[in-house]
A = this chain, B = another copy of it.
Amino acid sequence: MNQIISNNLNPHVSVDCVIFGFDGEQLKLLIIERKPKDAVSALPGDLIKDNENLDEAACRVLYELTGLKDIYLKQLQAFGDPDRIKDLADVRWLRDVREEPLTRVITIAYYSLVNLAELAPRPASFAKEVRWELVKKVGKLGFDHNYIVDKALEQLRLNLKYDPLIGFELLPEKFTLRQLQKLYEAVLDQPIDKRNFRKKFLTAKIVVSLDEKEQNVPHKPAQYYRFDRKRYMRIKDRFWF
């Protein structure tokens, strides 16, 4: 069977999830540390199953490996070099996990941005640890996962600029403009002028102020706002950051 499958036109197909997390200050990346001590870390990912589409596969894999649920994942792109798996440590790990460790694997990468404060990932059985690592400090990952992360981050930035929905989905119902700005600064990795930032969202009217302010903060309490989805849908062609 191994013979048949590795010599015909029949590679395996997997999904890999690039999950960015925002904790109110910094951008982090969800990585899985594998059990054997010398194994490198990697993105959560696994082979797809029959009868599930790619989006479903990505959700399931993420759930199985980390317990994270109800997360909206966007497809990034497919990666399929025949020699994606080149490192010895990669092969060793695959021998533990896959029935046919040498078969070529084509992977469809997904990405997402989630609220780190609300989520507590837990490791799957074969993982040593599930960890949020600062994006800027992510070390060497297995396979071509560093490359995939770079592409995903590039895409996330574009996405946030041209379609801020991915940002609002992460924030709570009511939020302050500072929170929103911190999110943009963390993802785009650049400081943003406060007045210009507010102006952009307020004049576009895609955020509306509520009758409520912060309480018990040791500084002037900030106004809470909510996202006006309907308004945004009407003007989305003209809005970008």
Question: Hey, which chain B residues are within 8 Å of A79, CB to CB?
Answer: 54
Interface assignment of A13: CB less than 8 Å from any CB of chain B: yes
Which of B1, B7, B13, B82 has a CB less than 8 Å from the CB of A4?
B1
Interface size class of A (residues with CB under 8 A): 20 to 34
Bound Cα distance from A51 to B7, whole angstroms: 10
Which of B1, B10, B80, B104 has a CB less than 8 Å from the CB of A12?
B10
In the complex, residue of chain B having the shortest beta-carbon distance to the beta carbon of A7: B50
Bound Cα distance from A7 to B5, whole angstroms: 13
Would you give the 0/1 interface string for A57-90, flagging 1 where the beta carbon is closer than 8 Å to chain B?
0000000000000000001011111100000000
20 new A-B pairs (CB below 8 Å) besides A11-B48, A11-B50? A4-B4, A6-B50, A7-B50, A9-B13, A9-B49, A9-B50, A11-B13, A13-B13, A13-B80, A13-B106, A48-B80, A50-B104, A51-B82, A53-B81, A53-B82, A54-B79, A54-B80, A54-B106, A75-B78, A78-B78
* In the A-B complex, the 10 residue pairs with the closest CB atoms: A54-B80, A9-B47, A78-B78, A53-B81, A78-B108, A51-B82, A75-B77, A13-B106, A10-B10, A11-B13
